[in-house]
Structure 1
Amino acid sequence: MKQSIKEIQQFLQSEDITIEEVETLRQDERKGVHKAILQWEKRQEEKEKQRQLFIHMSSYEKELREQGVQHIAGVDEVGRGPLAGPVVCAAVVLPEDFYLAGLNDSKKLSEKKRDEYYNYIIEHAISIGVGVISSDEIDAINIYESTKKGMLIAIEQLDVKPEHLLIDAMKLECDISQTSIIKGDANSVSIAASSVIAKVTRDRMMKELGKKHPQYGFEKHMGYGTKEHIEAVKAHGVLPEHRKSFAPIKDFVK
């Protein structure tokens, strides 16, 4: 008795299916079966595309490991541009066999994917550190210095001292050898992982701030200078979490 098309569709969802089994299914003349095979082929192409991207994004880590470096920390920040809330930095040390298909710059991922990846990274990373710099401190020492300070705090929070740092477009003053990578969160899996940790951490903080001050809509714009945010400041005033050194917030400070 022939398998139904639905049964074949379910069978083609399996991770363990072999090429020989697919070739056998090609002998089936039903259009529904051929459509299911086509969908399977597209999924395989996407998986291969993601695998190749991951290999490309692992090139810095691979080169360092070939030199005998074991503990490599990716370092990134989120929140340099907003008018409110902290800048959040993360440092992540991944194991050599780490693989997460689709890992990329956190800004390119949907919120659902970021949350999934965040949980996976938390579970599989060797160590994770987070540094949070408040809006008051950003005003006191400027955003660039705040970012560097946050990154150093994140590195200090790691359970293992990294032998090398891969940093997204920054140079840190510390005794650890480092590589600064332009668009690092799209070119290094370690930096991409730290980007996800920093982004999800900050977004959750801003959502909490949104609950505390519902009239500002922080859970929607995450503190960035949207029209809605500026209008809320005009109507309700400047909060302690606003960056008073940033325009146009500084124009509303009396």
Structure 2
Amino acid sequence: MKLPDLSFENAARAHGANRIAGVDEVGRGPLAGPVVAAAVVLDPAHIPEGLRDSKQLSAKRRAALSEIIHDVAQVGIGQASVAEIDQINILRASHLAMERAVAALPEPPDHLLIDGNMIPRDLVIPATPLVKGDTLSVSIAAASIMAKIWRDQVMRDLAQQFPGYGWETNAGYPSKNHKAALRNLGVTPHHRRSFKPVHNILYQDKCVSG
């Protein structure tokens, strides 16, 4: 398996960029919780070993790498709330989280490598979109790790407030147990009402009560 490398970072540097941030988001698919993005500026002289798409790492390895990334890189985290997801749709909310992550960096970057095939419309920094970028660029891979670590902790915290949905293990994704809990326990304030499984339950409840 080919691991992500510095090819795209080096290409940006060849065109005059110095501070290059990888940007990725996590949490488009869940039925509950915010969408979270991270922006990471790596030091080319201190690239953590084993960076790859967060989905290809064990939870233990992700946690270890996140600590290393915090020590050797600059990190910005941004998120968009459930209310924002329902208001502006998940794609735009994902882009909003990315914009906020870039804005949260301690120093502004001069080039962005963004996971996906679109550049968020309100970013004014030069950017390169990379489909499956977390498998191509170490900067995006690092961002995928930081975003997942952050969001998983958010969902574990929410699971303490709303037990029974299994958010501490399913992170709000539509697992069998999560969907069963939705039917049995109902919809929480942290569920995305614009998502069909949640919308359908609310509609059914409305029809029954009506």
Identical pairs, percent:
46
- Check whether the contact 2:3–2:135 (CA below 8 A) recurs between aligned residues: no
Structure-to-structure mapping, 1:132-211, within 5 angstroms: 132-169=79-116, 170-173=118-121, 174-211=123-160
CA distance in 2, matches of 1:221, 1:175: 35
Q: Deviations over 1:75-117 (max 9, x none)?
A: 0000000000000011111112122221100011000000001
Q: Deviations over 1:168-200 (max 9, x none)?
A: 013122221110001000100010011000000
1:117 aligns with 2:68: no
1:53 aligns with 2:7: no
CA distance in 1, matches of 2:119, 2:13: 21
Q: Which runs of 5+ in 2 are unaligned?
A: none
Deviation (angstroms), 1:64: 1.7
CA distance in 1, matches of 2:162, 2:120: 35
Larger RCO (CA within 8 A; separation ≥ 6) = 2
Letter in 2 for 1:186: T
Q: Deviations over 1:39-95 (max 9, x none)?
A: xxxxxxxxxx9xx835xx210011222333110010000000000000001111111
CA distance in 2, matches of 1:65, 1:71: 8
Letter in 1 for 2:149: V
Q: Which runs of 5+ in 1 are unaligned?
A: 1-48
Deviation (angstroms), 1:132: 1.1
Equivalent residue number for residue 17 of structure 1: none
1:100 aligns with 2:48: yes
When the two structures are aligned, how many residues end up with a matched partner?
201
Runs of 4+ in structure 1 over 3 Å off: none
Larger Rg, first or second structure (1 or 2): 1
**RMSD between superposed Cα atoms in Å:** 1.3
1:235 aligns with 2:189: no
**2:155 is paired with a residue of what secondary structure?**
helix
* One of 66, 74, 84 as aligned partner of 2:32: 84
